[in-house]
Chains A and B, each alone.
Chain A
């Protein structure tokens, strides 16, 4: 038997025939994530396996080691960076069957869930217990907790509550050796020594598979309200955000979109945007009504100090509905609104706050050079963590993947963008995953720290089973 056939038999013995497949129809469904990188080569896995619990994950990883077959952990496959792709084929470990809410502890403000639980399920379950789970990306009804903790991603409530990894108190992980362990606990700062949680958060499963997480939840705010303001340019909008921070306001949502991004997000609702708006910011506040009202009043004043223009309520509401995706309004999502002419990808390098405008101008110039000017894809900026000052500027880029030259151009374009970010004193970022997209620049940026990282990987995954060939690893 080949190693693939042998490991297939072992997986069937572990999970049962129903949850293991080497059928091409099943494998193709796991051959592509949300990234353009995903179509650059054939990443069809040889086997798909869907474990029921962490003990099965242990046995699967041990079998993968025994037969030297690489293993790629898969949440919902919504990644825009190619991080779950089976670069060297082998096994896709689909975690979504592990979707149990293990425990809700209102007294200690925690919820413990299996890694394959969708974020919307965690959000809605918490709400039933009058608790608020705050990590809420646009993909919430589809993407999983394990995926979010492994690949990060933004949240509409991030300005107040922080980033994906800020929500974690404890993890259960299975290392590449098959050893299972629990790190952290239900107390805040269950960190007796070095914070080992950070080895696995944002690591895309390269050091271990997250199988369970204990997460922070909060009392549900009594009231929530929002507004949006238009500004003349990015710098002015960012200055208004700084002024809001200075004022002491602590909004939960701060999303800044340029006009092109805003047009894109109004596509389903068809809400018109005033002509003079070039950069717009959506601000959301939560808490007791008087505090929310006062916060919005103060934030309005701050925006108007920078000649901000209050946008019509229908723009604010359409915007909010297009990013706040729940069971009630998933038909409003921009995230799900695909186009037949292009596929979006993302540049998510971090540059210093003072260089946002410069980087954005560079991106526009580059798009012109590449001939990508006719379509409504632009820049967007988010605040998290923490507070109203944005931390990262992203750029959406539409690629007509029907044309192979356009796909090649994407690889050239992103190289120029990431290199420029480094020149500006910025960084490759795992803010939205690294995977195949920004991995080529990781080693260069880490320098000697890359050796430390590979040494750590050798300890926890000596046979290089986990995500072989991805995220810059060999």
Chain B
């Protein structure tokens, strides 16, 4: 049996035996698919029987394992890294040829073919990044790195981030290449390609000699800060900041001034940024600093924030289900009375936007960067 799974053997047995079920009601996947096999406990039970030789891996098992959004809320309840064990199941299933359902597999296939999970061309990326004047500005204090989702699906986010940093007179450059950080392939278990992406991107970024890379994608942020050390076998030579940390700093140093916003706003913690990386305070400080805005918390926030449903490849693998999960999160935002739902991840903003459309919600879903960019006093 694969060593990558054997390390969880004792735990899988303990979880199979002790049925506290604290990971169940909070699980985005269970909230959608409704059977206990779609909870962390259910997946660890499958792992127990797999390791005990009672259960052969199958496409049905892969469906249940791949439906995990990797949000990690189960880890908070459990005290044991359930999501890490489930991630190992994904990786071993992928490598053993019991592949995930076809749609998930597209993430891997397209990244292997084109270098990004959307299968987009390098020429398209150039169109977004080439005309940015800071793309030739190296080395700089901060190098902005834009992820695939921003470049190919939400180029307005690129503009928002640029406008904020320009307004604050930050000495920054823009990484002119679009190379996927490896997060999407990693989440669907394609460790080999994730490592290849990490090595390629790190080499290029390090060539720029930058000490600090800033990203506005929480997936990229988590991957740089939490996954690169193990993927690369070393720490990257650069530090990574999320743009919410940068903006928080700029506001504290009074390098940015924001105009009034007479609205009630709430914040959705991206799992990659909040629970996985512990960045909770900075986005809240920013939102509370907007004059005239009232900040309210959703019922499930910070370490217990509910997932938007896009994680772990679910948005690509089972898009209708991912959007229905997002719709429930939007309804939670509605219940606060907020008219604006702010988040800090391009995956979350896309999925929550589609979730809001699904339930015809009037809540406006925006990234924190686009909200701030629209409020800058020149």
Q: Contact: A343 with B17, CB < 8 Å? A: yes
Residue from the list B15, B25, B64 in contact with A118, Cβ < 8 A: B25
Knowing A78-B20, A402-B13 touch, does A331 contact B76 (C-beta < 8 A)?
Answer: yes
Kindly identify, within residues 190 to 223 of chain B, every residue whose CB is under 8 Å from any CB belonging to chain A: none
Check B37 against A32 for contact (C-beta < 8 Å): no
Binding site for A on B (CB under 8 A): 10-11, 13-22, 24-26, 34-37, 39, 41-42, 45-46, 49, 55, 58, 60-61, 64, 76-80, 300, 303-304
Residue contact B17 to A19, C-beta cutoff 8 Å: no
Complex: A29 Cα to B41 Cα, angstroms? 8
Q: How far is the CB of A460 from chain B (nearest CB, A)?
A: 28
Contact between chains at B76 and A28 (CB < 8 Å): no
Q: Cβ of A271 < 8 Å from any Cβ of B?
A: no
Query: Could you tell me the distance between the alpha carbons of A333 and B46 in the complex, rounded to whole angstroms?
Result: 24
Inter-chain contacts of A340 with B (CB < 8 A): 10-11, 13-14
Complex-state Cα separation, A297 to B276, whole angstroms: 45
Say yes or no: is A222 at the interface (Cβ < 8 Å to chain B). no
A34 touches B19 (CB 8 A): yes
Question: With A141-B25, A338-B14, A340-B10 in contact, do A29 and B20 touch (Cβ < 8 Å)?
Answer: no
Closest 7 CB pairs of A and B: A340-B10, A142-B21, A29-B36, A338-B18, A29-B42, A29-B37, A336-B20
With known contacts A50-B34, A268-B79, A77–B17 Cβ distance under 8 A: no
A367 at the binding interface (Cβ < 8 Å): no
Residues of A within 8 A of B (CB): 18-19, 21, 23-26, 28-34, 36, 38-39, 48, 50, 76-78, 94, 96-97, 118, 120-121, 139, 141-143, 268, 327, 330-331, 333, 335-340, 343-344, 401-402
Complex Cα–Cα for A345 and B221 (A): 43
CA distance A339 to B11 in the complex (A): 8
The answer to whether A25 and B76 touch across the interface, beta carbons within 8 angstroms, is no
Q: A33-B19, A336-B77, A338-B20 are in contact. Are A28 and B25 (CB under 8 A)?
A: no
Inside 8 A of A48's CB, which chain B residues have their CB? 35
Complex partner residue of A333 from B19, B22, B61, CB under 8 angstroms: B22
- Tell me whether A97 and B20 are in contact in the complex, defined as CB-CB below 8 angstroms, given that A25-B55, A28-B46, A330-B76 are known contacts: no
Cβ-defined contact, A139 with B21, below 8 A: yes
Q: Which of A25, A34, A336 has the most CB of B within 10 A?
A: A25
Contact B46 A23 (CB under 8 A): no
Q: Is the CB of A142 within 8 A of B25?
A: yes
Q: Are B79 and A78 in contact (CB under 8 A)?
A: no
Within the complex, which residue of B18, B34, B60, B80 is in contact with A97, where a contact is CB–CB below 8 Å? B34
B37 contacts across to A, CB distance below 8 A: 25-26, 28-29
- Pick the residue among B13, B16, B61, B78 that contacts A336 (CB under 8 A): B78
Chain A residues lying within 8 Å of B25, measured Cβ to Cβ, are 118, 120-121, 141-142
